């Protein structure tokens, strides 16, 4: 698989088949915003996965092990999970479908223990 190194910010990436882009991850702190824009006709797929495998344990107030955005039957699914605090896991999804070939932007906001999205 070809690899490339980019020294400037990436504002657009396009993939066919099993393509992916790997970037440095940062823990989702108690006051955070995570988002992305995407366009697809696929009903299933991982849009974003942020893991912290191999990094020191997250500081207090960080959401530890991973967060992800994916499409499941065309619906957006958000998972924020902490292996160090399984009771702190959060999983929610949308009712509408987003695999219509149009450009969509999704944003999730965390303020302490409160979550919101659009």
Per-residue pLDDT tens digits of the chain, which is 118 residues long: 455 565 666 677 777 777 777 777 666 677 877 788 899 999 999 888 877 655 555 444 444 567 888 999 999 998 877 666 556 677 888 899 999 999 999 887 777 766 666 6
Are 94 and 107 in contact by the 8 Å Cβ rule? The answer is no
Range 114-117 contact pairs with CB under 8 angstroms and sequence separation of 24 or more: 115/90, 117/78
Domain edges within the chain? 31-117
CATH T-level assignment (fold) for domain 31-117: Jelly Rolls (2.60.120)
């Amino acid at each position: 698989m070809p690899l490339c190194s980019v020294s400037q910010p990436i504002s657009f990436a396009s993939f066919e088949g099993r393509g992916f882009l790997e970037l440095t991850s940062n823990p989702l702190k108690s006051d955070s915003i995570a988002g992305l824009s995407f366009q697809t006709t696929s009903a299933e797929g991982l849009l974003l996965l942020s893991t912290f495998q191999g990094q020191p344990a997250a500081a207090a107030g960080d959401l530890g092990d991973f967060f992800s955005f994916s499409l499941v039957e065309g619906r957006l699914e958000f998972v924020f999970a902490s292996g160090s605090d399984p009771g702190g896991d959060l999983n929610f999804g949308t009712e509408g479908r987003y695999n219509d070939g149009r450009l969509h932007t999704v944003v999730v906001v965390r303020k302490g223990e409160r979550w919101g999205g659009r």
